[in-house]
Structure 1
Amino acid sequence: MSLIIQERPFDHQVVRNLINSGLNPILARIFAARGIETNEDIQESFNNLIPPFSMKGIAQAAEIITHAILRKEKIIILSDYDCDGATGCALGHEALYKLGADIGYFIPDRITMGYGLSPKAVEALTEKSRPDWIITVDNGISSIDGTRYAKEKNIGVIITDHHLAGNELPEADAIINPNQPGCYFPSKYLSGVGVMFYFMLAVRQYMRDQKILSIESQPNFAHLLDLVAIGTIADMVPLDRNNRILVREGMNRIRRGVAHPGVIALFKVARKDYRNATTHDISFLIAPRINAAGRLSDMKAGINCLLASSETEAYDLAKILNSFNNKRRVMEVAMRDQAMSKLADIPIDKKTVVLYDSNWHPGLVGLVASRIKDASQRPTIAFSNCGDGLLRGSGRSTSTINLKKVFDIIDSHYPKVILQYGGHSSAAGLTLDEKNLSDFMGAFEQVVNQEIKNAIISEEVFTDGSLNPNDINMGLIDEIEGTVWGKDFSEPVFCNQFEIKNIKIIHSKHISFRIKHGAYTFPAMQWNRKTIPDSPGRAIYQLKSGRFGQREPSLIITAWEND
């Protein structure tokens, strides 16, 4: 696989304007390459958010839920079992409780009920607690049968989701999804928790308009923004202008120590100071601990941690999540090694990778698919056995292949091969009959083959150019780490020629060394590399503050090209 390194283009006049407004010249270059034109684009406040009522279905849903609250009808939030779903569920539960609702939540069992609002989930929910209303969060847009079954049982359904809609929409009482047909909400990239936050703002506004609440009596929903930030970052939705505002406001609350007790507790068990929290910390420290509950057990522990009202309760639950995450790491390594062994048996000229092991944990196949996709640079699906002759798979795709579109084509040309599916362009899930696995593999290979020209896609890396030795300093690093980064507004990476000194291999799988750049030397680390790179060479790297709390610049090498 070849590595194509390109520098992000930028408008030099925009850079000059940003520098004149007081920005660091390097940050000005970084921001200009990401479409920022003025300093105000970066500093926009919460008041600049797109108004809630510009989203299709939200006014209707706000009216429905307001009347349900006034009639004391029972409302259940039905959540997905990932971090986006968990934060959205916790946010909706807390907001509706403060608005006076009789509110509870329910998470479908991943193995026995599958994903989202399925008929099995509705059946289990009605046996446990007969609700008047179901509100989905981060799921539901594909739940045709589940919605119909709920309506047959006289349960109202409001769907809040952000996933791409299929050809048919469920017959819900209201659908809130910026990606549904006919919705002209300007931002199409809200996460599941982002959609739920907008819904809660709309309910509060409707109650205010109806004189049920006043400005003085209404609950303050700004304290929910830490949950919005975590779910948005975890789900890797593009950070457009609207999402950057949401995430920045939420990160500021975390850094000020006014986040939920559960969020603060998660930082503590991760041994990270929340006062210096970065979006990178959310992605790699906080979200995995929340996700671990849904992957290995029950997302209740994650949601309850986020809903905890006391520091003691929050810390006890955070320790449970930390334990889940440690167990998840061990299991993931074993599954990844098995998957890599299976990958070696797949011909190099195949354009897809489909893996199955009856012993794989269904909550971890997405992580396995992600690792194998990175290793093979091919769209990858990993399947586990979920009983009753069914396989549940999780897919990850390269930047050039829209996985949801591929599944749409397969479903259209090969009906009933896929029983259920949903997701995004880069990540999606599906359920098959085990007897159809071979047919699916053939269809998947054929459709992807039509979508791409090359058997293995070259890895293209965009950088923010090179840095002079004296540019690598803590002042720049502090500014970078204090900025909101995410998908389509990615954390800056740089490219320079370096010499290597003092190489150490850590735990037989990482390398630590010092790099020489002019008259300066800096500590550097490259994860998951067992071979020693040649020196000198060209490195793709990110800047980080020193390890173990040291205040010195450090480089994380993401790729190395030998001269």
Structure 2
Amino acid sequence: MSASEVRRRVAAGVPSGWGHEVHPVLQAIYAARGVLTPAQADHRLACLLTPTMLGGMERAVELLMKAVAEDWSILVAGDYDCDGATGTAVAVRGLRLLGARHVNYAVPNRFLHGYGLSPALVESLEPKPRLIITVDNGVASIAGVACAQALGIKVIVTDHHLPGEQLPAADAMVNPNLTDDTFPSKALAGVGVVFYLLLSLRAALRERQAYADGPEPDLSSLLDLVALGTVADLVPLDYNNRVLVEGGLKRIRSGRACAGIRALIETGKRSVSTLCASDMAFSVGPRLNAAGRLEDMRLGVECLLTDEPAMARRYAEQLSAINQERRDLQASMVAEAEVMVGVATSSDAVGVALYEPTWHAGVVGLVASKLKERLHRPIFAFAPASEDNVDELRGSGRSIAGFHIRDALAAIDAREPGLIERFGGHAMAAGLSLKAVDFPRFAAAFDAIARQWLSEEQLQAALYTDGELPMGSATLDLARQIRFGGPWGQAFPEPLFDNEFECVSWRVMGETHLRFDLRDPRDGSRLEAVMFNAYKGTPPPARMRAVFELGINDWQGRESVRLLLRQIEAV
């Protein structure tokens, strides 16, 4: 049954298999996202894809079994973003739960070691471990894996990034995006891949009756970390990822999150009991990411590993302070970038590349993201690799629907060998390194391939909604069902509606936010609404069409419906 047919049946009151407890509007929202039956909205952990379906698992588990049995020293080599930090914490906690006694971790400093398992990171390890497990990196670490193996270190790569033409000669590799892997969900984040490895290891230990004398370790205790990393990395929330995220959210809401996540939620002034995926994306995740962008992600990992609430709170407060510094720096860089695209020829480019010598390499990805939203163009932003290395640039890119930005880099690399020194990423985000003198060549090549691959229609920004919210449907019951009806996120978007309203009154909150008293002209009902960063010095229209989320205002323990406006236009 098509989504439009489900919408028609819902509107007509024809049963569609959902119980009466599921609001008809939510049924239509689900249908528009391909969820046509209650079973497709069942996010029980029993519905997860089987770990043994993931390629490379048998060899990786065999090596881990040997490492645990022989008491090897194991080092988890993570990444300096939220996915990498949560994945590192999952690996360390999980391996210890499963019997490994000598587990440590290392996270590269982006300014000292570069990305991933680099030779510089391997050579810095003291003492040298017997086994390295990469998390959220490694598929491109050809030199780093070779360096480790030359030192007698075994390497298991767990990653989710797209592979290049050559793979590292690791002792085992688990990655759903390898070309010969048949795992049904290609959308696992790095933290999801290593969680699956732990599930497989536990199953193998169970077969060998490792838990005959007692209960087996509860790996669901790691789901809060899995959920955070999955949401923060902006991977598509396909069914399997929604099961993982929902499992983590339920754990958090029930008060069973690890001390670090609880502290990050509280410092972000979010509610543990009502936390949703958007809170992770816009409050918790950025605080953790800030450490890797400006300083050392070890601070973030330590926050996730400590079981002491007071210590976790101190770490979280430090991360919040770094995040505020990141926000200030980002605002300055975005303002400079907006001037650049407003006055330079790059404003006419289809694929836009920007470079400023004073920019910070840890924040260029956020600049690219903001400019992508404004211009609706694929964007790369560049900065010097470090203060001591201004001859090399680090670039971070963000893309739009229909333009696979990592594949674009691969095409440029094939057309102009040697231009790009290193690259990697996904469909919507990618990174690369190149020489500063080669930036003009890259900018021209990126624009050329964007012009070739993108049509005029794809360059027109479109905001998709779930249509008009039916009259009388702006209720707390529906708002609650939507809040907990997800998890919403990448490729499973938060519901948006568009309706016409009369503006009864409005006022400015702070300096840039707006609060509205709106009237629905269909029945005269009144609704409270807010719109953030919307005031530009002119009053809003008296009658408007607004795109909005149906939200909840929780003030002093009392809940009320509040619309969160995303876009308005006069009618």
- Match for residue 561 of structure 2? 553
Q: How much does 1:505 deviate?
A: 3.0
Q: Matches of 1:331 and 1:411 in 2, distance apart?
A: 31
Q: What are the Cα deviations for residues 428-463 of structure 1, in whole angstroms up to 9, with x where unaligned?
A: 111111111111111111111110132981111221
Q: Matches of 1:450 and 1:539 in 2, distance apart?
A: 35
Within a 5 Å distance, the mapping from 1:205-224 to structure 2 comes to 205-214=203-212, 216-224=214-222
- Match for residue 144 of structure 1? 142
Q: Matches of 1:32 and 1:438 in 2, distance apart?
A: 46
Within a 5 Å distance, the mapping from 1:26-175 to structure 2 comes to 26-101=25-100, 102-125=102-125, 128-175=126-173
Contact kept, 8 Å, 2:18 with 2:38, in 1: the verdict is no
Within a 5 Å distance, the mapping from 1:320-339 to structure 2 comes to 320-339=318-337
Q: Matches of 1:358 and 1:547 in 2, distance apart?
A: 44
Partner SS state of residue 470, structure 1: coil
Greater displacement, 36-45 / 328-337? 36-45
Q: Percent identity?
A: 37
Partner SS state of residue 234, structure 2: coil
450, 453, 457: which one pairs with 1:451?
Answer: 453
Q: Matches of 2:248 and 2:559 in 1, distance apart?
A: 26
Contact kept, 8 Å, 1:58 with 1:202, in 2: the verdict is yes
- Match for residue 4 of structure 1? none
Q: What are the Cα deviations for residues 172-213 of structure 1, in whole angstroms up to 9, with x where unaligned?
A: 111101110111111111111110100001111112222333
Greater displacement, 93-102 / 11-20? 11-20
Contact kept, 8 Å, 1:509 with 1:528, in 2: the verdict is yes
Q: Which has the higher contact order (CA 8 A, sep 6+)?
A: 1
Q: How much does 1:13 deviate?
A: 7.1
Partner SS state of residue 467, structure 1: coil
Q: Matches of 1:9 and 1:478 in 2, distance apart?
A: 24
Q: Matches of 1:17 and 1:384 in 2, distance apart?
A: 54
283, 286, 300: which one pairs with 2:284?
Answer: 286
Q: What are the Cα deviations for residues 14-56 of structure 1, in whole angstroms up to 9, with x where unaligned?
A: 7431445642111111111111122122124111111101110
Within a 5 Å distance, the mapping from 1:79-478 to structure 2 comes to 79-101=78-100, 102-125=102-125, 128-214=126-212, 216-347=214-345, 348-387=347-386, 388=389, 389-454=391-456, 457-478=459-480
502, 506, 517: which one pairs with 2:505?
Answer: 502
- Match for residue 3 of structure 1? none
Q: Matches of 2:76 and 2:555 in 1, distance apart?
A: 41
Partner SS state of residue 461, structure 1: coil
Q: Matches of 1:552 and 1:23 in 2, distance apart?
A: 20
Q: What are the Cα deviations for residues 118-153 of structure 1, in whole angstroms up to 9, with x where unaligned?
A: 22222222xx33111111111111112222222222
Partner SS state of residue 343, structure 2: coil
Greater displacement, 327-336 / 187-196? 327-336
Which residue identity lines up with residue 511 of structure 1 in the other structure? L
Unaligned 5+ segments in structure 2 are: none
480, 486, 490: which one pairs with 1:487?
Answer: 490
Q: Matches of 2:54 and 2:148 in 1, distance apart?
A: 25
Contact kept, 8 Å, 1:95 with 1:221, in 2: the verdict is yes
Q: Matches of 2:138 and 2:570 in 1, distance apart?
A: 49
- Match for residue 542 of structure 1? 549
- Kindly tell me the number of residue pairs found equivalent between the two proteins: 555
Q: How much does 1:417 deviate?
A: 0.6
Contact kept, 8 Å, 1:91 with 1:193, in 2: the verdict is yes
Q: Matches of 2:212 and 2:406 in 1, distance apart?
A: 44
Q: How much does 1:267 deviate?
A: 1.5
Contact kept, 8 Å, 2:402 with 2:458, in 1: the verdict is no
- Match for residue 512 of structure 1? 515
Q: Matches of 2:453 and 2:203 in 1, distance apart?
A: 45
Q: What are the Cα deviations for residues 240-288 of structure 1, in whole angstroms up to 9, with x where unaligned?
A: 1111111111100100001111111111111222011111111111111
Contact kept, 8 Å, 2:352 with 2:446, in 1: the verdict is no
Q: How much does 1:341 deviate?
A: 1.1
| Aligned residues: CA RMSD | 1.8
Contact kept, 8 Å, 2:142 with 2:169, in 1: the verdict is yes
* Residues 107, 10 of structure 1: alpha-carbon distance in 2 compared, 3 angstrom cutoff: farther
Contact kept, 8 Å, 1:49 with 1:242, in 2: the verdict is yes
Q: Matches of 1:450 and 1:253 in 2, distance apart?
A: 47
Which residue identity lines up with residue 148 of structure 1 in the other structure? A
Q: Matches of 2:241 and 2:256 in 1, distance apart?
A: 20
* Residues 201, 20 of structure 1: alpha-carbon distance in 2 compared, 3 angstrom cutoff: closer
Q: Matches of 2:422 and 2:81 in 1, distance apart?
A: 18
Q: What are the Cα deviations for residues 455-485 of structure 1, in whole angstroms up to 9, with x where unaligned?
A: 9811112211111342111111111111211
Which residue identity lines up with residue 74 of structure 1 in the other structure? S
Does 2:538 correspond to 1:530? no
Q: Matches of 1:14 and 1:119 in 2, distance apart?
A: 60
Which residue identity lines up with residue 467 of structure 1 in the other structure? L
Which residue identity lines up with residue 440 of structure 2 in the other structure? S
Q: How much does 1:10 deviate?
A: 5.4
Q: Matches of 1:411 and 1:214 in 2, distance apart?
A: 54
Q: How much does 1:503 deviate?
A: 2.2
Contact kept, 8 Å, 1:346 with 1:353, in 2: the verdict is no
Which residue identity lines up with residue 207 of structure 1 in the other structure? L
Contact kept, 8 Å, 1:76 with 1:134, in 2: the verdict is yes
Q: Matches of 1:215 and 1:245 in 2, distance apart?
A: 31
Q: Matches of 2:4 and 2:327 in 1, distance apart?
A: 38
Q: How much does 1:562 deviate?
A: 2.4
* Residues 14, 154 of structure 1: alpha-carbon distance in 2 compared, 3 angstrom cutoff: farther
Contact kept, 8 Å, 2:44 with 2:243, in 1: the verdict is yes
Contact kept, 8 Å, 2:109 with 2:297, in 1: the verdict is no
Q: Matches of 2:563 and 2:56 in 1, distance apart?
A: 47
Greater displacement, 532-541 / 170-179? 532-541
Partner SS state of residue 88, structure 2: helix
Greater displacement, 25-34 / 36-45? 36-45
Task: Compute the TM-score of the two structures, normalised by the length of structure 2.
Answer: 0.94
Contact kept, 8 Å, 1:351 with 1:456, in 2: the verdict is no
